[in-house]
Amino acid sequence: MVSPADLFDLEEATFKELFKGMDLVWDALDRIKAYTSDLVDHAGHTGALLHGGGEVLPRTVVLHRGMVFDCDFKLLGGDPTKGQMRVLLNDQEVDDAAVVYAGAVFMDDQVHIAPGAVVEPGALLKGPTYIGPGSEVRQGAYLRGGCLVGAGCVVGHTTEIKNSILMDGAKAGHFAYLGDSILGREVNLGAGTKLANLKILERPYHLKAGDSMYHVARRKFGAIMGDLCQTGCNSVTNPGTVLGRGCLVAPCTSVPGGYYKPKSVIR
């Protein structure tokens, strides 16, 4: 009930290797930073191309096949999460370019921006962070490191993420907080959703799943949400929440920590 395979379809998942050999899904939280760092090393340090070091990017640039273009391009528009973003580069239309807008800040070079992704003005990224193809990091987003963002994801306006995973198609579009959390494929967080990750009192987390009781001795443990879960606006998951696939959380709901079976409706 609480293995990665129970919560996620790992057949085509971008980050499936992270969960290899794992019996308890929350053990992935301890692997995120090292896995992200290795992934960035393998895929390439886009932050280095942008001289990551805390400076505000002065001009909008296009990243294409290992090169940075600050002129001779035209942005044709289109939704990156649907693979529709197009760029006219040296009079040739391309669909595998990434766009980083003026005003974005890369605090170090441990960041990878995959083809087709967009980083909007005012976003601040710390490494290690991986932004997958066709994903959108919107204005004012704050990625604090240990951030794995899959393909076709949205990190929304003033959304803050640290030590967390968005699997392919996951969206945290507006005013969200994700700490020490995992969003499965096509999870959608309603505006203002907060995934709290720190108990007021330092005590273990207790999760009952079926006939088994799990005692998790972690200091920080946010929410782990199986594929296709959704939360309504202004909802909060308390520390140590695990939602099975397809769970629904009603707006303005405070979800007690614990395990919830697939397709639960929580109100």
For the chain, the average pLDDT equals 96
Q: Residue 212: which pLDDT band, with cuts at 50, 70 and 90?
A: very high
Report pLDDT digits (tens) over 21-60: 999 999 999 999 999 999 999 999 999 999 899 999 999 9
Q: Is 4 helix (H, G, I), strand (E, B) or coil?
A: helix
Report pLDDT digits (tens) over 52-106: 999 999 999 999 999 999 999 999 999 999 999 999 999 999 989 999 999 999 9
What average pLDDT does this structure show over 166-175? 98
pLDDT at position 13 is: 87
pLDDT at position 214 is: 97
Q: What are phi and psi of 12, to 5 degrees?
A: -115, 10
pLDDT at position 189 is: 98
Contacts of residue 11, defined as CB under 8 A and 6 or more positions apart, other chains included, come to none
Contacts of residue 98, defined as CB under 8 A and 6 or more positions apart, other chains included, come to 46, 62, 63, 64, 113, 114, 115, 116, 117, 118, 119
Contacts of residue 196, defined as CB under 8 A and 6 or more positions apart, other chains included, come to 177, 179, 222, 236, 237, 238, 239
Q: Report all structural domains of the chain as residue ranges with CATH numbers, in order of start.
A: 37-174 (2.160.10)
pLDDT at position 147 is: 98
DSSP class of 57: P
Sheet holding 73-77, edge to edge: 73-77, 86-89, 92-94
pTM: 0.97
- Residue type, position 48, single letter: A
Of 4, 100, 84, 97, the residue nearest 47 (C-alpha): 100
Whether the per-residue pLDDT at 12 is higher than 90: the answer is no
